[in-house]
Amino acid sequence: QKEVEQNSGPLSVPEGAIASLNCTYSDRGSQSFFWYRQYSGKSPELIMFIYSNGDKEDGRFTAQLNKASQYVSLLIRDSQPSDSATYLCAVNPGNTPLVFGKGTRLSVIA
Among residue numbers 76 through 95, which ones bind other proteins (CB under 8 A)?
A: 88, 90, 92-95
With CB under 8 A as the contact rule, the residue among 42, 52, 58, 78 that binds other proteins is 42
Answer whether 109's CB lies under 8 Å from 13's CB: yes
Hey, what amino acid is at 7? N
11 vs 98, beta carbon nearer other proteins: 98
What SS3 state is found at 41?
Answer: coil
Q: Which of residues 47-76 bind other proteins (CB under 8 A)?
A: 49
On whether the CB atoms of residues 106 and 18 are closer than 8 A, the answer is no
46 binds other proteins (CB under 8 A): yes
